[in-house]
Amino acid sequence: MKKIKRIGLLTGGGDCPGLNAVIRAVVKTANLQYNSETFGFQDGFKGLVENYGRLLSVSSVSGILPRGGTILGTTNRDNPFEFLVIENGKEEYRDCSDKIFENVEKLDIDALVVIGGDGSLHIANRLHKMGLPVVGVPKTIDNDLSATDVTFGFNTALNTASEALDKLHTTAESHHRVMVLEVMGRYAGWIALEAGVSGGADVILIPEIPYTMEYVYDKIKERRARGKMFSIVVVAEGAKPKGGEVVVQRLVKDRSDPVRLGGIGQKVSDEIEEHLEIETRVTVLGHLQRGGSPSPYDRILATRYGVGAVEMIMKGEFGRMVSLQTPDIVSVTLDEAVEKPRFVPVDGDLVRAGRSVGISFGDE
């Protein structure tokens, strides 16, 4: 195998805390341990297709470890296999993957690190099967990749949601209200579940357990009968009633998944207030969960992932993703990484623990 002289790097999909920590680890490991360069593509796959970015030196990544977001920019719109091209004022989608191979050759890039979630890693896997030497790094606050114990970004989002619940508790108790907190997670309920348990929620509604509002009402009434005049309800954005559908905020074109979820918190809040005649308020955390400085856990995990990605490249382990199989960082194939999403097991230990301490999941 030829010596790896230059590594390409991009951050794809939605931003999340810890991206800069991975970038820093890749650049420093490549340079300090292997005397190799790192070229960072701007704005995800868009930069890879349109050939813009910059060389990243050790000094250029100094100080970025605690910074949220990504110094390279990112996008969840620019799939190179369905890339928006405007020609003579007309929009059309084309397969521009050939541009990627041209640009990689022009820039003398020997291997590519793709930091992303399910969508970005699907693209990475497809490029690998076309012959591009690719290594993936798992990133998403949703924690829904099944081939790793945890994705970086999740812990920070969880801390944000838990802190919000702590603050909502005091105002809910003061005003004798029901407080509904809507959190992200797409079709997986990890943020809602873990934030709800850690934040002392009374009701947690997640996509994996379809709910019935009558059980939610019963939990709130049971608390009031015991003198608890307030309640905390955590709702995952992908939660849905039994026999019903998810609440869709709107459809967004140019994306692999055009569905933008949102609004379930307001729906649940309105139903509680109307049925129980109890003052109810809803808080939607939204992108607060994706921003801010990464937690110490995410900084460490992201650093381990970045180091692991470079080590895999140097060993010629392409078409694979770094993975945490506690306590070790190992590699799995990209096929395994994107084979299926990781959902909350409805009979798992954490759900059972929640039920044991009196949390309602709206199903009984």
Give per-residue pLDDT as tens, 228-264.
999 999 999 999 999 988 888 777 666 666 777 888 9
Question: Is the same domain home to 30 and 172?
Answer: no
Residue 107's CB is within 10 A of a number of other CB atoms, namely: 16
Active-site annotation, residues: 142
Question: Is the same domain home to 223 and 239?
Answer: yes
Question: Is the same domain home to 203 and 92?
Answer: no
Question: Is the same domain home to 197 and 146?
Answer: no
pLDDT per 10-residue tile (average), the chain, 364 residues? 91 93 98 97 96 96 96 91 88 93 97 95 96 96 94 96 96 94 94 97 97 96 95 96 85 68 91 94 93 96 98 96 96 94 95 97 94
Question: Total domain count for the chain?
Answer: 2
Assigned domain for 363 exists: no
Q: Which residues pair with 303 in a beta bridge?
A: none
Q: Are 362 and 215 in contact (CB under 8 A)?
A: yes
pLDDT for the residue numbered 123: 96
pTM, to two decimals: 0.93
pLDDT for the residue numbered 41: 97
pLDDT for the residue numbered 326: 94
Question: Is the same domain home to 271 and 214?
Answer: yes
Assigned domain for 133 exists: yes
Give the CATH number for residue 247.
3.40.50.460
Distance in Å from the first CA to the final CA of the chain: 59
pLDDT tens digits for 199-219?
A: 999 999 999 999 999 999 999
Give the CATH number for residue 145.
3.40.50.450
Q: DSSP letter for 357, please.
A: T
pLDDT for the residue numbered 253: 66
pLDDT for the residue numbered 259: 73
Assigned domain for 364 exists: no
Assigned domain for 340 exists: no
Domain around 252:
157-291+345-356
Assigned domain for 338 exists: no
Question: Is the same domain home to 285 and 181?
Answer: yes
Assigned domain for 333 exists: no
Q: Are 12 and 100 in contact (CB under 8 A)?
A: no
Percent share of the chain, pLDDT over 90:
87
pLDDT for the residue numbered 81: 94
pLDDT tens digits for 11-50?
A: 998 899 999 999 999 999 999 999 999 999 999 999 999 9
200: nearest Cα among 224, 167, 175, 174: 167
Question: Is the same domain home to 114 and 130?
Answer: yes
